[in-house]
Amino acid sequence: DSGVTQTPKHLITATGQRVTLRCSPRSGDLSVYWYQQSLDQGLQFLIQYYNGEERAKGNILERFSAQQFPDLHSELNLSSLELGDSALYFCASSMFGPGELFFGEGSRLTVL
């Protein structure tokens, strides 16, 4: 158990819909990262938050947004969903500084 909790574990929705994925980082970790894993693209870094502030942005679509709340949990919002958004979305956390990322078990999104 990494200590990172992601909900929901599975989500099935239709094109055009909006979903929210939630992540609770390990106790004490200030940084939260979101990654998208798909068969064709592999693991893609989406966005990082540190103590409530956006720290770095990767290959995140404009239809996607995220935030980190004062209690340090984070949410990834995916809107106007397309079939190609079907993927496994991982959240990871770390203490700021050179170190390892602790990954949650992921949220599998299926868009029909």
Partner 1 sequence: AQSVTQPDIHITVSEGASLELRCNYSYGATPYLFWYVQSPGQGLQLLLKYFSGDTLVQGIKGFEAEFKRSQSSFNLRKPSVHWSDAAEYFCAVGAGGGADGLTFGKGTHLIIQP
- Are 29 and 86 in contact by the 8 Å Cβ rule? The answer is no
- Are 16 and 80 in contact by the 8 Å Cβ rule? The answer is yes
Judged by CB under 8 A, does residue 28 bind partner 1?
Answer: no
Judged by CB under 8 A, does residue 25 bind partner 1?
Answer: no
Q: Looking at 26, 68, 94, 109, which residue binds partner 1 (CB under 8 A)?
A: 94
Question: What Cα–Cα distance (Å) separates residue 70 from each residue in 7, 51, 58, 73, 83?
Answer: 18, 8, 23, 8, 33
Cβ count near 20 (within 10 Å): 15
Say how far apart CA 88 and CA 95 lie, in whole Å: 24
Candidate segments 19-27, 69-77, 79-87, 95-103, binder of partner 1 by CB under 8 A: 95-103
Least distance to partner 1, CB of residue 42, Å? 4
Judged by CB under 8 A, does residue 43 bind partner 1?
Answer: yes
State the residues that interact with partner 1 by CB under 8 A: 2, 4, 31, 33, 35, 42-43, 45, 48, 50, 55-56, 58, 90, 92, 94-106
